[in-house]
Structure 1
């Protein structure tokens, strides 16, 4: 809002709102803003699980083969002819094949190798290259596992389960609503996966796994993040989402232990990043367990110059869910973290999936602001940039009384400033540590009280603006609707302006706010300092934030300029300008006399 930058509430001292007060507020604002950026995890620490993975990759292939043979409960073959003889009741495919499931929302490609998903394309969303977004991160999945693979703690057995050639119930294309199943049986292992699809983002999965006839505890997993993750901030935004006994928790990467198991009951649990989620909703919350997966990859510290060789570790989160019985069933939501979409998912009495969208402490401001913006978008605006500007206009109109309150408070302070100066001169001979200084403060307070002046009247309205700014910041950072949303030259309202036109415009508009705002509590040197320093500070902050926020704030400045021009034509505005001129003339006279 424009009020945040206005030095129009300054008093000459003693409870007034002078330049030092404004600088203090600006410093606090800047520290909070930079603190949010600093404490936002950007370089998650490498997990201990990464070392385990390195050890695993260096293990000889013969060891894995031995483990697989041991898991099957079979002895070493007596001869090569016996080894070549097929198992009588084995169920396994001779060759790899693919099956595609498609509806209006997604296109899923299954491979019968491991009965896993190789591609999960969301048709309504694009990647950075403008192509349909594939939620399977192929590079990470090749290292750490593809979606709907099985997770067990025995590496050899897990490799066998996820490399086995399952027999699919269908190949080619399967229409929705429909069902696809995979079977595998060999060496004492029997596994069946059945998936059911409809027209929504939710699928149903049932897994039956036994070894030597006994239940095999295996978790159905989404192991390796998402396909929209390319940069360190995108990986750092991932988290594990859980709803356990009605309580929702979101675990950041630095707190996720790779391979850890947590017992339920879970209404839902899964993994998400800033805009997309894969969340399991078990058919029976009781006797469920959640496996958290945490691996790491190396990314260039500067994506624009990867040849520098400088890399940082990025966390790749995954999750799996399973039960204790031989057969486990669950629904699985894989899709956008859109409030409407998440709200439509039936959680069978559990917390709404809406809670997977993170607004943080400012949710009480951010969510209503988003709902208002979406209302304008849905009812005629049809562009998120213009919807933001409509909201900006209405918020500034609603907050206009605070602008008047700030100016009234400043004007009252200027009217009694001569009396305040007399009181200060009366006690000027005493040191700051002298107890009689308390008497001065009491006299000044009594004077303000007698004149009906609230010493906080000038700064409290300014403080009311901060929740709106931070709430809008949190909203823009978390709602998928603004991802890749265009406005004029801006290709993505959730990302910084690539041409930096908006930050420059913001700096210019803020300078105009300072220029047109009367400042009777400042001399001209202070006014010049504030006129240039304040736009520079806040312009720096706007340089690399989401362009939607910069649009909101620049729009507030322009509206603030218009409001100030109107106020300047009122009697209050004319009186403030007269006081400012009188004060400037008085100070100039003192300077001239001092020089003589």
Structure 2
């Protein structure tokens, strides 16, 4: 019985070690957030035709490379808000220049803002000088209906004019217009809220003498595979919701889509009335969201020759009678995946399950409530580090009734340790005899050794859920605690090499194996707290197990040096609370643990009491 439980605990711990070793040794280096630069409206960069993409189907958007290069640079309409800064290109009327003004690349005060969208129109020199990313933009247009020439509908290369508004800002919409010269006028109105939601209204006014058929669409195009975290617990790539079903496709999966006749490499989803589709990074996202209740076709595709990844929202074909007008309204989210902001868009305008664009993982039933509790505590306390500590207290309180039984069982097993040693001495190498007598001892003393596994089994899903929360939620990004811990989503930057900042030289890059080996301060606190906690548990009788358990705290100390400091802070706090709880309960049952020596009983054990009574 003892061996079975020991093996269970050992297997659990070894599983942790496998994950930790993989993460520390084989996981890729974390990449920085997307590069940034000055908005193009300030830089004066001209527009050129978009790179080629794959046309899709008979009712598909026009080829993005259909236009000739303009002889002169075209104008831009500036975007200004408290959250965004950038511009709209009049070539295609596309949003292709966007920076997130609330977020910087690094913690340095002079660090540039994070750039989200970047045009394809910049030259190679301009892209380097302005520090632009690979082209990444949102473009809208119309697909011609039966009998309508493609030249009579606006596409990605159409040159628009500004009809109203000079700067897109909250409460200040901008309208672009294009007249096809055949009696039809197309308008595109952009509106912006205080955060990251654009409202895009595409209208078609038919002043001609005959009916006119066309279908509006929206495209998000991404040239080349972006730099991603490439970490197994994080989804980066296409994300969408198709009538209540979450769709996730990584870039390698998009490029590997089976070719479909006239569709290129594409996946097509018919959406009945509630859905959205786009690209997600670790912290940022760009998503097309048709108005709730609007049926549309969601398309994910890859242009192999041009190396372009696309998501599309195609609306049904519409026929506009002479003297009438058609308007199609949709939304474009382009910004940071802030939980509170995204959740607000679920309520208004009603984007279904939009909060699931955050990668909550397999333990979503734990990850979501843990994050919501952490978010609430942060709002109450005002510091994310102290909120993590408070969260640990709350979680420990919730599981304390079960943990209490475990601690009592451990106290009893500590009491029985001398008798188990006697049984081992009598049994010698006879394992069957040893197991039988130990089982009889447990039964006689009414001890359940399996109860000691309960805290570990409870801790595993909580640990991984909190790890997921700290790793994927932007609320932890660059969130400080105090002192040298200024980013709880990053590893502890301190190091023994420079005596924790006392010596005037740098340390190995955070998150690397070398940095983990230089013993960050939080990692040392973790190792010591694990060692103290281990002293409270019954020692294994098997020498091999005893050696493994003796080394465990120090192995974890080195391994977890590269983990996010917020996660290590949680684990250290959890260990300290466990030590206090277990020490208190064991003391109540007659044991005063001595961390620097042997466990000594302050009260006579029950075994000795029975012997005294027998005399």
Q: TM-score, normalised on structure 1?
A: 0.69
Indicate conservation of the 8 Å contact 1:109/1:117, yes or no. yes
Aligned to 2:171: 177
1:90-101 aligned within 5 A: 96-101=74-79
Cα distance change on mapping 1:529 and 1:157 into 2, 3 Å: farther
Q: Distance in 1 between matches of 2:398 and 2:159?
A: 64
Spell out, residue by residue over 1:333-366, the C-alpha distance to the aligned partner (whole angstroms, 9 max, x if none). Answer: 2232222111211466663311212211222222
Cα distance change on mapping 1:557 and 1:503 into 2, 3 Å: farther
1:59-74 aligned within 5 A: none
Cα distance change on mapping 1:267 and 1:371 into 2, 3 Å: same
Give the superposition deviation at 1:495. Answer: 2.0
Aligned to 1:533: 551
Indicate conservation of the 8 Å contact 2:99/2:113, yes or no. yes
Cα distance change on mapping 1:157 and 1:42 into 2, 3 Å: farther
Q: Does 1:265 align with 2:257?
A: no
Aligned to 1:134: 115
Aligned to 1:343: 343
Q: Distance in 2 between matches of 1:37 and 1:292?
A: 34
Q: Distance in 2 between matches of 1:58 and 1:408?
A: 67
Indicate conservation of the 8 Å contact 1:510/1:557, yes or no. no
Spell out, residue by residue over 1:30-83, the C-alpha distance to the aligned partner (whole angstroms, 9 max, x if none). Answer: 33556789999999xxxxxxxxxxxx8799xxxxxxx99x999xxxxxxxxxxx
Cα distance change on mapping 1:316 and 1:414 into 2, 3 Å: farther
Indicate conservation of the 8 Å contact 2:292/2:350, yes or no. no
Q: Does 1:514 align with 2:506?
A: no
- SS of 1:114's equivalent in the other structure is coil
- SS of 1:196's equivalent in the other structure is strand
Aligned to 1:117: 95
Indicate conservation of the 8 Å contact 2:268/2:299, yes or no. yes
Q: Distance in 1 between matches of 2:9 and 2:339?
A: 38
Cα distance change on mapping 1:111 and 1:466 into 2, 3 Å: same
Aligned to 2:10: 23
1:289-328 aligned within 5 A: 289-294=297-302, 318-326=310-318, 328=328
Q: Does 1:391 align with 2:383?
A: no
Q: Distance in 1 between matches of 2:584 and 2:246?
A: 49
Pick aligned residue for 1:454 from 448, 451, 464: 448
Q: Does 1:203 align with 2:220?
A: no
Cα distance change on mapping 1:106 and 1:143 into 2, 3 Å: closer
1:157-196 aligned within 5 A: 161-170=155-164, 172-174=166-168, 176-185=170-179, 191-196=186-191
Aligned to 2:354: 353
Instruction: Give the number of equivalent residue pairs.
Output: 504
Q: Distance in 2 between matches of 1:151 and 1:568?
A: 74
Q: Distance in 1 between matches of 2:28 and 2:334?
A: 25
Cα distance change on mapping 1:527 and 1:198 into 2, 3 Å: closer
- SS of 1:473's equivalent in the other structure is helix
Indicate conservation of the 8 Å contact 2:165/2:175, yes or no. no
Give the superposition deviation at 1:484. Answer: 1.6
- SS of 2:159's equivalent in the other structure is coil
- Alpha-carbon RMSD across the aligned residues, in angstroms, is 4.8
Give the superposition deviation at 1:29. Answer: 2.3
Q: Does 1:557 align with 2:575?
A: yes
1:549-588 aligned within 5 A: 549-563=567-581, 566=584, 570-574=588-592
Aligned to 2:58: none
Indicate conservation of the 8 Å contact 1:135/1:226, yes or no. no
Unaligned runs of 5+ in 1: 1-12, 44-55, 60-66, 73-91, 298-314, 583-596
Q: Distance in 2 between matches of 1:553 and 1:142?
A: 37
Aligned to 1:246: 244
Q: Distance in 1 between matches of 2:143 and 2:558?
A: 50
Q: Distance in 2 between matches of 1:58 and 1:456?
A: 61
- SS of 1:543's equivalent in the other structure is helix
Q: Distance in 2 between matches of 1:71 and 1:162?
A: 8
Cα distance change on mapping 1:267 and 1:420 into 2, 3 Å: same
Give the superposition deviation at 1:375. Answer: 1.9
Aligned to 1:374: 375
Indicate conservation of the 8 Å contact 2:170/2:194, yes or no. yes
Give the superposition deviation at 1:275. Answer: 1.8
- SS of 1:331's equivalent in the other structure is strand
Q: Distance in 2 between matches of 1:423 and 1:525?
A: 16
Unaligned runs of 5+ in 2: 31-50, 55-61, 121-126, 145-149, 258-264, 319-325, 501-518, 602-615
Q: Distance in 2 between matches of 1:179 and 1:321?
A: 22
Q: Distance in 1 between matches of 2:529 and 2:28?
A: 36
Indicate conservation of the 8 Å contact 2:591/2:600, yes or no. no
Q: TM-score, normalised on structure 2?
A: 0.67
Give the superposition deviation at 1:476. Answer: 0.6
- SS of 1:243's equivalent in the other structure is strand
Give the superposition deviation at 1:14. Answer: 3.7
Q: Distance in 1 between matches of 2:250 and 2:92?
A: 30
Q: Distance in 1 between matches of 2:115 and 2:537?
A: 56
Give the superposition deviation at 1:197. Answer: 3.4
- SS of 1:163's equivalent in the other structure is coil
Cα distance change on mapping 1:518 and 1:146 into 2, 3 Å: closer
Query: Which structure: greater helix fraction?
Result: 1
- SS of 2:562's equivalent in the other structure is coil
Task: Return 144-153 or 350-359, whichever deviates more.
Answer: 144-153
Indicate conservation of the 8 Å contact 2:168/2:191, yes or no. no
1:430-445 aligned within 5 A: 437=432, 444-445=438-439
